């Protein structure tokens, strides 16, 4: 792992995830939407760091070990003595649906921009080429933490960084407060260059009737590059001078939908950073998302994880 500030910085939380199997035993893993995307970006050969905070316990050690094994820069993961990471337990409901229960209110990741070393994170953003975070990331922070994040994003953009945002909306993370959610998202969107929303989320949060209306709303905030994930069939790409639906190459029955959107986002951003045009990048994103859908869990086996 490099100790220099990485060129791509993803921000978010890593949870300890326990999934109950059919036999009643639990399989442990580390999970988080920004963390998943960071790993897939690193697997594409990019210099990536993940900005978060964990404790000093053995479970936090396992998070650090996974980040190191995946080539993520570890100098942006703050360690907080006496604290524990968030815990998520996943089971199957009566109809086979995925049911998750999360214990996270005291997790140190939620204080990332209020910890004593928060300026280390801010400085890494200023020197980054690309900064990525999601709506779930925003739900973690207090208003004070959000203010510091937004200020750092403004300085980073003045220094040439691009900001990418997935409006990943989970009502439980916002405790049902849609007014605050919309206010925070609007403040974030003023500082976003690349938006990667999912249409279903946008319809719930904003009442958008179509992917085209999502594009128009985001363009009104000044977002220059938009890719709307539009279910299993296509993505709508809006870039300067272009508006195009890019179809999914192959319709398939998912083994596990977990992190398919994270894989899509990473596939798109990696392709763009490596020189592809937006439409080509969307096709690459579809392929990586399809690979993720074919495997259980958030992270593909490394042998299957090459970004096309």
Residues 109/52, Cβ–Cβ less than 8 Å: yes
Helices (H) and strands (E) in the chain, counts: 10, 13
Report the length, in residues, of the chain. 308
Spatial neighbors of 195 by CB under 8 A, at least 6 apart, are 164, 165, 166, 167, 189, 218, 223, 225, 226, 227
108: number of CA atoms within 13 Å, CB side? 21
The Cα-based distances of 211 to 141, 218, 222, 293 in angstroms read 29, 11, 17, 22
Tokens 């260059």 locate to: 193
Residues 137/184, Cβ–Cβ less than 8 Å: no
Rounded CA separation 88/101 (Å):
6
Tokens 């594009």 locate to: 215
Q: Is 110 helix (H, G, I), strand (E, B) or coil?
A: helix
How much of the chain is helix, strand and coil, in % rounded to 5? Answer: 45, 25, 35
Q: Which is the catalytic residue, given 47, 208, 262, 291?
A: 262
Rounded CA separation 290/39 (Å):
17
User: Helical H runs in the chain?
Assistant: 33-43, 58-69, 118-126, 135-140, 143-158, 178-189, 199-206, 211-220, 260-273, 278-293
Catalytic, 262? Answer yes
- Token pair, residue 193, equals 């260059």
Hey, which residues are catalytic here?
A: 262
């Amino acid at each position: 792992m490099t100790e220099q500030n990485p060129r791509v910085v993803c921000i978010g939380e890593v949870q300890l995830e326990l999934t109950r199997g059919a036999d009643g035993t639990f399989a442990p893993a580390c999970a988080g939407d920004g963390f998943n995307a960071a790993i897939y970006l690193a697997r594409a050969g990019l210099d990536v760091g993940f900005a978060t905070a964990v404790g000093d316990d053995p479970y936090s050690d396992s998070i650090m070990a996974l980040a190191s094994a995946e080539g993520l820069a570890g100098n942006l993961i703050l360690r907080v003595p006496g604290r524990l990471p968030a815990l998520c337990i996943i089971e199957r409901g009566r109809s086979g649906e995925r049911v998750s229960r999360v214990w996270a209110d005291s997790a140190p990741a939620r204080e990332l921009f209020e910890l004593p070393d928060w300026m280390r994170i801010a400085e890494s953003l200023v020197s980054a080429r690309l900064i990525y975070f999601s709506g779930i990331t925003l739900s973690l922070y207090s208003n004070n933490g959000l203010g510091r994040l937004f200020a750092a994003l403004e300085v980073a953009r003045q220094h040439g960084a691009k900001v990418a945002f997935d409006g990943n909306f989970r009502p439980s993370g916002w405790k049902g407060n849609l007014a605050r959610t919309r206010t925070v998202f609007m403040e974030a969107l003023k500082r976003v260059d690349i938006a990667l929303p999912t249409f279903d989320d946008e319809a719930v949060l904003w009442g958008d009737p179509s992917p085209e209306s999502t594009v128009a709303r985001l363009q009104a905030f000044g977002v220059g590059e938009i890719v709307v994930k539009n279910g299993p069939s296509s993505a709508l790409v809006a870039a300067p001078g272009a508006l195009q639906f890019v179809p999914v190459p192959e319709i398939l029955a998912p083994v596990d939908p977990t992190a398919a959107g994270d894989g899509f986002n990473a596939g798109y951003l990696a392709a763009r950073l490596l020189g592809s045009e937006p439409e080509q990048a969307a096709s690459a994103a579809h392929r990586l998302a399809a690979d993720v859908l074919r495997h259980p869990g958030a992270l593909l086996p490394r042998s299957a994880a090459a970004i096309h």
